[in-house]
Amino acid sequence: MAIALTRELGRFVSEIRFDRLPAPAIAVAKLGFTDCIAVMIAGSAEPVATIARDVLAAKGTNGGANQGEARLLPSGDQVSALDAALINGSTATRAPCWCPRSSPRPRRSARRART
C-alpha cells in the first residue's frame, strides 16, 4: 500500500507543470517560502546559529575543496553545502515566533495532548 501511494505521489509530482497549478496553491507556496526566509533571517541572530558558526569556524570545516558551495542567510558568507545546511537549517527552526497571524495560544490538538 505505501509503495503504491509513494509511486502515485511521485508520478503526480513529476507530471505537474507550473501553468497547471491553481492560483491559490501558488499563493500559499510563495507565502511559505517568504515566511521561511523571514524566519531564517530572524533566527540568524539566535544563539544556536552563532554557536554553530563559531564551532564550524574553529574546527576549520569551512575550508577545503567544498568552500563556497553555498551561502549563509542573511550574511551571504560562502561555506560548504553541509555547513550551510546545518547553520541555515538551525536558523529556520530557532527564531522566536513573531508572526501576527499566529495565535499565542497552543493549537487545539496541542492543548488536548497536555491534558
3-state helix, strand, coil in the chain (%, to 5): 65, 5, 35
Rounded-to-integer distance, Cα 108 and Cα 115, Å: 11
Is 56:62 a contact under the CB 8 Å cutoff?
yes
Domain ranges of the chain: 46-96
* pLDDT tens by residue, 15-58: 999 999 999 999 999 999 998 888 888 888 888 888 888 888 77
Residue type, 51: I
Asked whether the whole model's pTM tops 0.75, one would answer no
* pLDDT tens by residue, 68-81: 788 888 888 888 88
Burial state string for 22-46 with b = 16 or more CB within 10 A and e = fewer than 16: eeeeeeeeeeeeeeeeebbebbbeb
Cell of 109: 490538538
Output the CA angle 23-14-4, nearest 5 degrees: 110
